[in-house]
Structure 1
Amino acid sequence: MPNRFFYTVLLTGALVLSFCRPVHAQEIRANVTVVANQVQGVDKKIFVTLQTALKEFLNNRHWANDAFTPAERIECNFLLNVTGTTGSDTYKASLTIQATRPVFNSSYVTSLLNLQDNNIVFRYAEFQPLEFSDNRVVGNDPLASNLTAIMAYYVDIILGLDYDSFSPRGGDLYFKKALNIVNNAPDGKDITGWKAFEGNRNRYWLQDNLLNAKFMPFHDVMYQYHRMGLDVMYDDVNKGRAAIMNCLNLMYAIHQDVPNTMLVQAFFTAKSDELLKLFSKAMPQEKSRAAELLSQMDIPNAQKYQQMK
């Protein structure tokens, strides 16, 4: 059995911990939206078909070794915004990825990932099968394979973050699967986002940070923030908040060692609003310390944090 706690929904709607799982259920419940308002001269039915195909691709595959009950599936959203064409059946787009995790003994869900990837280019003809294999990521057509490789990569990132939030270093297997996709990614003139030299905020750098020894404390943060922080707040708010404050100290140590990293930015993009609410009701000294740390680590939201003092 995996070293991971799982949630089941009671008939009352409350969430409780469960330690056993039946087999034969997928791991994620993905909502997929494809919009193509900016695309001209293309039959829009193609994008309706693509949306259905992507939803089936994500929801009907087994991505993990463990079996998830329907109540345990990870809720996630994929918004593919097609912005133009680059050739016959070839499109450029951005992809917004969001994933959440339930909090124990609560109807509240916390954000695990909230990220936008602007480096999407792919080939798709209506009713074209969407195929992906861990052993042959590139496929026969790099542009056609790029879309499914990107989707599979983010599923692995989501699974890794979710497993990390339930057990120490629980997500390593899935971060390594994401690395495998990066190492064997489709390559082509218009394909970007998979290589280190193409920028410091892309798919390469996210998985690099997640597997880099310099960022090992981040995995402790993911576990402590969720299992020792949020999950205990129903019983003891102060104890849960203290654990999350310790997580901020760990994140600050990462920030000091390696400033302005994609991983730290991604964490606060997912958690900034939640942290603001968590510490808005803290004792003045704790609130002031949280505001100080957050303002230095999450500069885009610094002004909001300063208002907590």
Structure 2
Amino acid sequence: MHKRFPLLLLLAGALILYCRRPAQAQEIRANVSVVAAQVQGVDKKIFTTLQNSIREFLNNRHWANDAFTPAERIECNFLLNVTGTVGSDTYKASLTIQATRPVYNASYVTSLMNIQDNSVVFRYVEFQQLEFSDTRIVGNDPLSSNLTAILAYYVNIILGLDYDSFSPRGGDPYFKKALNIVNNAPDGKEISGWKAFEGNRNRYWLQDNLLNAKFLQFHDVMYQYHRQGLDVMYDDVAKGRATVLNCLNMLYSIHQDIPNSMLMQVFFAAKGEELQKLFAKAMPQERSRAAELLSQMDVPNAQRYQQMK
């Protein structure tokens, strides 16, 4: 039994004797939207069909070995904004992915991921089946396979972050699956986002950071922030907030060694607003320290954090 599950069962309010068994329910509960307002000269029904296909692909496939009950499925949103065509049945798009995790004994959910990928190019013919295999990621057509590879990549990142939040280093198997997708990703002149030299904010760098020993402490942060911080606040707000502040100190040590990393950017995109609210009612010394750290680590939002002081 994975350490993820006892807490989730409590979160669901169910006293269930849980043992490891063949998977009974899928791991992801994804809300999927495909919008194509900017696309001209294409029958818009195609995008409705694509939306349904992506929803089935994400929600009906087993992504993990552990069994998830319906109440344990990870809530997430996938918004595919198709912005144009680049050839016959071939489209360019951006993909926005959001995922959340419940907080113990609360109706509140905390954001695990809120990211936008602007390098999505894919081929899709209406009613074609979306296929993906960990052992043959590129498939028969790189452009058709690129969409499913991207979706599978982000599912594994979501699973990894979720597992990290429930047990120390729990997400490693899924980050390694994401690495496998990156290493074997579809290739082509229109395809981008999978290679280090294509920029410092793409799929390559996110999985690199998550598996890089230099970011080892980040995984401790994910566990302590959620399991020892947010999850204890029902019983002891001050103790939980103190743990979160310690997590900020740990993140700052990473920031000092590796400033402006993609992983830190992704973390604060998900957590920035939450952290501001969390420390708004803290004691002045805690609030000031949090504002100081956040302003240095999340520079684009520094003004927002300075208002906390």
User: Aligned equivalents of 1:124 and 1:283: distance in 2?
Assistant: 54
8 A Cα contact 1:160 1:173, kept in partner:
yes
* 1:156 counterpart letter in structure 2: N
> 15, 18, 21: which one pairs with 1:20?
18
- Are the structure 2 counterparts of residues 134 and 142 from structure 1 closer, same or farther at C-alpha, using a change threshold of 3 Å? same
The equivalent residue for 2:136 is 136
Q: Secondary structure at the match of 1:295?
A: helix
Deviation at 1:213, TM superposition (A): 0.1
User: Aligned equivalents of 2:163 and 2:273: distance in 1?
Assistant: 22
8 A Cα contact 1:26 1:61, kept in partner:
yes
Cα shift readout 1:214-267 (whole Å, capped 9, x = no counterpart): 000000000000000000000000000000000000000000000000000000
- Are the structure 2 counterparts of residues 115 and 15 from structure 1 closer, same or farther at C-alpha, using a change threshold of 3 Å? farther
- Please say if 1:89 is aligned against 2:89: yes
* 1:266 counterpart letter in structure 2: V
8 A Cα contact 1:101 1:111, kept in partner:
yes
- Are the structure 2 counterparts of residues 297 and 100 from structure 1 closer, same or farther at C-alpha, using a change threshold of 3 Å? same
Deviation at 1:7, TM superposition (A): 1.6
The equivalent residue for 1:266 is 266
Q: Secondary structure at the match of 1:7?
A: helix
Cα shift readout 1:26-56 (whole Å, capped 9, x = no counterpart): 0010000000000000000000000000000
- Are the structure 2 counterparts of residues 52 and 24 from structure 1 closer, same or farther at C-alpha, using a change threshold of 3 Å? same
- Are the structure 2 counterparts of residues 171 and 19 from structure 1 closer, same or farther at C-alpha, using a change threshold of 3 Å? farther
* 2:31 counterpart letter in structure 1: N
The equivalent residue for 1:219 is 219
Deviation at 1:9, TM superposition (A): 7.3
User: Aligned equivalents of 2:9 and 2:42: distance in 1?
Assistant: 44
Provide the aligned C-alpha RMSD in A.
Answer: 1.3
The equivalent residue for 2:182 is 182
- Please say if 1:234 is aligned against 2:234: yes
- Please say if 1:288 is aligned against 2:288: yes
User: Aligned equivalents of 2:156 and 2:214: distance in 1?
Assistant: 21
- Please say if 1:58 is aligned against 2:58: yes
Q: Secondary structure at the match of 2:208?
A: helix
8 A Cα contact 1:142 1:188, kept in partner:
yes
The equivalent residue for 1:123 is 123
* 2:96 counterpart letter in structure 1: T
* 1:93 counterpart letter in structure 2: A
- Are the structure 2 counterparts of residues 275 and 18 from structure 1 closer, same or farther at C-alpha, using a change threshold of 3 Å? farther
The equivalent residue for 2:8 is 7
Runs of at least 4 residues off by over 4 Å: 14-19
User: Aligned equivalents of 1:217 and 1:225: distance in 2?
Assistant: 12
The equivalent residue for 2:101 is 101
8 A Cα contact 1:94 1:117, kept in partner:
yes
* Count of paired positions: 306
* 2:8 counterpart letter in structure 1: Y
- Are the structure 2 counterparts of residues 240 and 17 from structure 1 closer, same or farther at C-alpha, using a change threshold of 3 Å? farther
- Are the structure 2 counterparts of residues 18 and 272 from structure 1 closer, same or farther at C-alpha, using a change threshold of 3 Å? farther
8 A Cα contact 1:99 1:111, kept in partner:
yes
Deviation at 1:17, TM superposition (A): 8.2
The equivalent residue for 2:308 is 308
The equivalent residue for 1:71 is 71
The equivalent residue for 2:247 is 247
What TM-score results when the alignment is normalised by the length of structure 1?
A: 0.97
Deviation at 1:15, TM superposition (A): 4.9
8 A Cα contact 1:16 1:105, kept in partner:
no
User: Aligned equivalents of 2:123 and 2:210: distance in 1?
Assistant: 29
User: Aligned equivalents of 1:202 and 1:175: distance in 2?
Assistant: 15
The equivalent residue for 1:161 is 161
Matches within 5 A, 1:30-49: 30-49=30-49
What TM-score results when the alignment is normalised by the length of structure 2?
A: 0.97
8 A Cα contact 1:17 1:104, kept in partner:
no
* 1:214 counterpart letter in structure 2: K
User: Aligned equivalents of 1:125 and 1:15: distance in 2?
Assistant: 44
User: Aligned equivalents of 2:230 and 2:25: distance in 1?
Assistant: 27
User: Aligned equivalents of 1:210 and 1:145: distance in 2?
Assistant: 24
User: Aligned equivalents of 1:289 and 1:17: distance in 2?
Assistant: 40
- Are the structure 2 counterparts of residues 15 and 185 from structure 1 closer, same or farther at C-alpha, using a change threshold of 3 Å? same
- Are the structure 2 counterparts of residues 17 and 111 from structure 1 closer, same or farther at C-alpha, using a change threshold of 3 Å? farther
User: Aligned equivalents of 2:218 and 2:267: distance in 1?
Assistant: 9
* 1:7 counterpart letter in structure 2: L
